[in-house]
Each structure stands twice: as C-alpha cells, then as structure tokens.
Amino acid sequence: MTEDTGKDLQRAHVYVYGNVQGVFFRESARKKAKEFGLAGWIENLPDGRVEAVFEGSPDDVRRMTQWCEEGPPHATVEDVEVREEDAGGDLRGFEVR
C-alpha cells in the first residue's frame, strides 16, 4: 500500500455470500490483496458469509472486489455486497482473522 494520507485511497467493506467458507477463500483473498498492494482484513462470519475490508488505490480496490465475485476455484459466490467507506490510511498489511 502506498504511504498516503488517505486522499488517494479507497476503502471497500465487502460481504460475500454463498459457499465461501472452507474453500480457502480467506487465504486466497489475502494472497490477492498482497498482489494488489492492498491493506485490510478478512474473516468468516457465523452466518456463512465472508466479511472483508480492502483499502488501497481505487483501481486495485475495484479489482479486488471484482475478484470476490468469483473467489477461489472451490468457492460458489452467490452475491457480493460492497459498501464504500472513508479511507483513513490507517490500515497496515492484510490480516486473515
């Protein structure tokens, strides 16, 4: 991620629905986020969804949210909900929770 003050950053809060747990979704997303230079986190929710926050350049955040629409090979993504949030530039690295 760039050492920016948040001015040129975008943050997306994402919820992924479908068969997205137990299929290496989080680890695959971590690798992809690292490839795109994004900061944030991802975790499984008790209701079967995956929740994530991605922060970085607008193009890279868009690419990451598009990746979430497919996910890794064994995932079956039914829907992706994306909410834009204020990017604070305070996230460092990418964490699997």
- Which amino acids are annotated catalytic? 26, 44
Residue 11 is given by DSSP the state E
Q: In whole angstroms, give the CA distance from residue 65 to residue 69.
A: 7
Look up residue 46 and give its two tokens.
Answer: 């008790």
The position carrying tokens 């990451």 is: 64
Q: Which is nearest to 20 in space by CA: 12, 28, 31, 10? A: 28
Contact 49, 17 (CB under 8 A): yes
